[in-house]
With several copies, the nearest count.
Chain A
Amino acid sequence: MDLLPTPEQVEIIDSSATFLADQISIARTRELFESGELPAVGAAAWSAAAELGWFALGLPEDRNGIGCGLADEVLLFREIGRRLAPGPFLSTVLAARVASFGGHQGLSDEIAGGRRVGLVIPGSLDAIGPDGSIVGEVQLVDADPDGLVLTVTPTIAALVAVSSLSDVTEVPCVDPTTRLHRAVGTGVGPVSSVASEVDPVELRGHVLAAALLTGIVEWSRDTGSEHAINRVQFDKPIGVNQAIKHPCADMAVQAQLAYSQSLFGALSVDEGRADAEFQALTAHATAAAAAEFATGATLQIMGGMGFTHEHDVHLYVKRMELLSHTFGMPGLWLDRLLELPEPV
């Protein structure tokens, strides 16, 4: 038992942080979405990420992947979350698996090579059919109109062509860095699909969403604390006040809980533990609650600045909302958590 990153994993963390700072900085993201380019990640940056192998990191080597574990992907996605990188990282990584395990290795290679795949957020649980096709009202996150989107349920994950949907309409997303469409499914069969017994795509998704949210919590903790140290009012740094210091401490606890549970969830999936579903859902629920608390706490600590468009905290608030509605909603996961057997 060891939850410390290995030197190889530290390398993943460091190199991804460097890449994100260089290629997908928040300043650059702001330029892109202010000019209307959504998702607010440049094509060059996306391709560069593909070249780094980000979309094949967790794919087995015999599926043309790098063969790392889900825990390695957690470390990468935590950096992506911390730095607010936009774009369908989550659904693209999962889509490469669906295509490969669904028997379409060529498509998988294409996706791993940089073809973006958006994510389907169903309006109701029955909007996704048993075969992964879309049969009701959905929203599409970061979908390309001529591309594919990923559907995910507890039993199946599938890739569906956007062109097969009807009433595809772009609508502004609460997260301004993200492209959103509404659409209605027509029941056209998916391009590729994989059952959860073959590859637990939904659980991997929960864990990676938890990792993204963990990055948001850590950013909030660090940003709030830094402000508490530097901002002077009444001749003292505001961090001397327990009304500031204690929420910062709570953020530190929440960040550590979200991080450790994301790893626990990832390793549970990697190792095929009997309680993998419980641990993965717990990771998402824990990280979502932590991120709701931490973004709100940091916004409050920042005072008026936190309420402005200029400061980044509102972007983290809005991304948090998006990730808390990915693969369902916290209330839904809690309902499932309670039905599962006691964790081992």
Chain B
Amino acid sequence: MDLRFAAEDVAFRDEARTWLTANAPTERRPKLGRAVRDYDLAWQRKLYEAGWGNVAWPVEYGGRDLPLIQQLIWFEEYARTGMRPIDTRFVGLAHAGPTLMARASDEQKSFHLPKILKGEVVWCQGFSEPEAGSDLASLRTKAVVDGDQLVVTGQKIWTSFADHSDYQELLVRTNNDVPKHKGITWVICDMKSPGIDIRPIRTIEGGADFNEVFYDEVRIPLANVVGDIDNGWSVAMSTLAFERGTAFTISQVQLAASVEELIELARSRRSINGRPVIDDDSLAKRLARARADCAALRSLTYLGISKNANSDQPGPEGSMMKLHYADLAKRVYRLGIEILGTRSLAIPVDEDDTEWIDKHLIAYSTSIGGGTSEIQRNIIGERVLGLPR
């Protein structure tokens, strides 16, 4: 056992930090419109050109195939830049890309993977539907084979950055006569196809990253099917092991940084009764607890990485980290509101305060998106502890 990183890992951390310090964008990421895509892709091209396109991807696809521990280091250093953990590049780099690597044909891979890594395209995900949330496999968007094409009709929801995307990893129902997991197909959808209608979803904090996507007889070449027709569920599940939890490090490091900022904020601000906020033991103890919980989450991550470095299958730490993170993030950003006190009622008073309000509102989603906390608890109870379904 050892917390120390090997000499080559320390050197790697220096290299990553040096490069990121010199090259991370200094201007704020735009919030709306085409500028978002342009900003993200410019950043990806810069990363790619310096050899940082995706440190976890195999070398044959242009990545660096770094060992898990160096991936962890990369993401820890990346987190320090303050860049968002998830932007328009995310689905391509961390989900669709790895799925293609695992299951796509050589033609599909050689066409798509370089575009993703070089920052030429944006991908989005088309999995969830209004009636298929936690129960994803009950999806209904229908695809009928017509000649050498699939004709897709239906609706997806919660598609991040659909309006900025070139391609979509799309799950459709191609067979209604078999159990629900067996009639699903995974297909690459060109987002410029006729018949696609994208409607943004405004969210609680005013953002519009999510979209509904409607498909009216959208024609997709059969050549875009990855894996086989009706075998899409297994394709969709094949990316779970990718990165094995390292990318999540960004959110985690940034949450810990937020706690430190909140401690500072509580020291600098006065409460309504005129005392420094930090003098309220009840808030102070909750801040201390949050600090401890962030540290414990990091140790849990390190334990998970240690296990996964010796295993092909990711351990249960993934669900555990997500569950703990969601609970913790909600507690941390609630603290932000309480530290601001009555100032939290005014949104744009100054940029910093606004950020805490936004983060508090966004935190409501941490226990919903990407598998609800209730589902995570089921997974841990059933798969880790062997409890009955």
Q: Which residues of A contact B (CB under 8 A)?
A: 1-6, 9, 69, 71, 121-126, 139, 171-175, 180, 182, 221, 225, 228-229, 232-237, 239-246, 248-250, 252-253, 256-261, 263-264, 267-268, 271, 273, 278-279, 281-282, 285-286, 289, 296, 299-300, 303-304, 306-310, 314, 317, 321-322, 325, 328-329, 331-332, 334-335, 337-338, 342-343
- In the complex, residue of chain A having the shortest beta-carbon distance to the beta carbon of B135: A233
- In the complex, residue of chain B having the shortest beta-carbon distance to the beta carbon of A233: B135
Give 18 new A-B contacts, CB below 8 A, not counting A1-B72, A246-B378, A249-B381: A3-B306, A124-B270, A125-B274, A221-B385, A239-B387, A240-B388, A245-B382, A245-B387, A249-B379, A257-B299, A260-B300, A264-B299, A282-B292, A285-B292, A307-B364, A321-B337, A335-B288, A337-B291
For residue B217, which residues in chain A have a CB less than 8 angstroms away from its CB?
none
For residue A69, which residues in chain B have a CB less than 8 angstroms away from its CB?
1
For residue A5, which residues in chain B have a CB less than 8 angstroms away from its CB?
1
- In the complex, residue of chain A having the shortest beta-carbon distance to the beta carbon of B346: A171
For residue B297, which residues in chain A have a CB less than 8 angstroms away from its CB?
257
- Complex CA distance for A306 and B204, rounded to whole angstroms: 8
Count of A-B residue pairs with CB < 8 Å: 269
For residue B377, which residues in chain A have a CB less than 8 angstroms away from its CB?
242-243, 245-246, 249-250
With A124-B270, A307-B203: A229-B386 Cβ-Cβ less than 8 Å? yes
For residue A299, which residues in chain B have a CB less than 8 angstroms away from its CB?
364
For residue B381, which residues in chain A have a CB less than 8 angstroms away from its CB?
239, 245-246, 248-249, 252
For residue A225, which residues in chain B have a CB less than 8 angstroms away from its CB?
385-387
With A9-B1, A310-B202, A338-B263: A172-B348 Cβ-Cβ less than 8 Å? yes
- In the complex, residue of chain A having the shortest beta-carbon distance to the beta carbon of B207: A309
For residue A307, which residues in chain B have a CB less than 8 angstroms away from its CB?
203-204, 364-365, 368-369
- Complex CA distance for A308 and B202, rounded to whole angstroms: 6
Q: How far is the CB of B40 from chain A (nearest CB, A)?
A: 23
Q: Are B303 and A242 in contact (CB under 8 A)?
A: no
Interface centre among B204, B341, B357 (most CB of A within 10 A): B204
Closest 10 CB pairs of A and B: A309-B202, A264-B299, A334-B288, A249-B380, A260-B299, A239-B387, A245-B381, A249-B377, A260-B303, A233-B135
Q: Are B368 and A300 in contact (CB under 8 A)?
A: yes
10 of the cross-chain contacts (CB-CB < 8 Å) are A1-B9, A221-B385, A229-B388, A237-B387, A253-B380, A264-B295, A281-B292, A286-B293, A309-B203, A321-B344
Q: Are A325 and B2 in contact (CB under 8 A)?
A: no
For residue B1, which residues in chain A have a CB less than 8 angstroms away from its CB?
2-6, 9, 69, 71, 263, 267
Q: How far is the CB of A22 from chain B (nearest CB, A)?
A: 27
For residue A171, which residues in chain B have a CB less than 8 angstroms away from its CB?
346-349
- Complex CA distance for A300 and B372, rounded to whole angstroms: 9
- Complex CA distance for A198 and B330, rounded to whole angstroms: 41
Q: Are A332 and B272 in contact (CB under 8 A)?
A: yes
For residue A125, which residues in chain B have a CB less than 8 angstroms away from its CB?
272-274
- Complex CA distance for A2 and B280, rounded to whole angstroms: 39
Interface centre among A4, A257, A289 (most CB of B within 10 A): A257
Any A CB within 8 A of the CB of B31: no
Within 8 A of A (CB), among B326-365: 337-338, 341-349, 357, 361, 364-365
Q: Are B306 and A121 in contact (CB under 8 A)?
A: no
- Complex CA distance for A260 and B273, rounded to whole angstroms: 30
Q: How far is the CB of B380 from chain A (nearest CB, A)?
A: 4
- In the complex, residue of chain B having the shortest beta-carbon distance to the beta carbon of A170: B346
Q: Are A308 and B284 in contact (CB under 8 A)?
A: no
Q: Are B317 and A256 in contact (CB under 8 A)?
A: yes
Q: Are A328 and B306 in contact (CB under 8 A)?
A: no
Q: Are A334 and B285 in contact (CB under 8 A)?
A: yes
Q: Are B300 and A257 in contact (CB under 8 A)?
A: yes
- Complex CA distance for A132 and B180, rounded to whole angstroms: 67
Q: How far is the CB of A266 from chain B (nearest CB, A)?
A: 8
Q: How far is the CB of A293 from chain B (nearest CB, A)?
A: 12
For residue B216, which residues in chain A have a CB less than 8 angstroms away from its CB?
none
- In the complex, residue of chain B having the shortest beta-carbon distance to the beta carbon of A325: B342
For residue A235, which residues in chain B have a CB less than 8 angstroms away from its CB?
138
- Complex CA distance for A293 and B309, rounded to whole angstroms: 31
With A329-B272, A332-B272: A240-B389 Cβ-Cβ less than 8 Å? yes
Any A CB within 8 A of the CB of B367: yes
For residue B324, which residues in chain A have a CB less than 8 angstroms away from its CB?
253, 257
Any A CB within 8 A of the CB of B320: yes
Any A CB within 8 A of the CB of B144: no
- Complex CA distance for A343 and B9, rounded to whole angstroms: 20
Q: How far is the CB of A33 from chain B (nearest CB, A)?
A: 13
Q: Are B364 and A182 in contact (CB under 8 A)?
A: no
Any A CB within 8 A of the CB of B260: yes
Q: How far is the CB of A268 from chain B (nearest CB, A)?
A: 7
- Complex CA distance for A267 and B295, rounded to whole angstroms: 14
Q: How far is the CB of B261 from chain A (nearest CB, A)?
A: 10
**Residues 95-122 of chain B, each 1 if its beta carbon lies under 8 Å from chain A, else 0:** 0000000000000000000000000000
Any A CB within 8 A of the CB of B289: yes
For residue B306, which residues in chain A have a CB less than 8 angstroms away from its CB?
1-4
Q: Are B385 and A273 in contact (CB under 8 A)?
A: no
With A139-B345, A260-B299, A304-B158: A337-B292 Cβ-Cβ less than 8 Å? yes
Partner of B287, one of A4, A256, A296, A338: A338
For residue B6, which residues in chain A have a CB less than 8 angstroms away from its CB?
1
Any A CB within 8 A of the CB of B374: yes
Q: How far is the CB of A332 from chain B (nearest CB, A)?
A: 6
Within 8 A of A (CB), among B266-299: 270, 272-274, 278, 280-285, 287-289, 291-293, 295-299
- In the complex, residue of chain B having the shortest beta-carbon distance to the beta carbon of A180: B346
**Residues 183-209 of chain B, each 1 if its beta carbon lies under 8 Å from chain A, else 0:** 000000000000000000111101000
For residue B181, which residues in chain A have a CB less than 8 angstroms away from its CB?
none
For residue B307, which residues in chain A have a CB less than 8 angstroms away from its CB?
4
Q: Are A263 and B303 in contact (CB under 8 A)?
A: yes
- Complex CA distance for A260 and B367, rounded to whole angstroms: 23
Q: How far is the CB of A99 from chain B (nearest CB, A)?
A: 25
Any A CB within 8 A of the CB of B302: yes
- In the complex, residue of chain B having the shortest beta-carbon distance to the beta carbon of A265: B299
Partner of A304, one of B131, B157, B376, B384: B157
- Complex CA distance for A69 and B1, rounded to whole angstroms: 9
With A271-B4, A303-B368: A239-B388 Cβ-Cβ less than 8 Å? yes
Q: How far is the CB of A311 from chain B (nearest CB, A)?
A: 9
For residue B342, which residues in chain A have a CB less than 8 angstroms away from its CB?
121-123, 139, 325, 329
Q: How far is the CB of B378 from chain A (nearest CB, A)?
A: 7
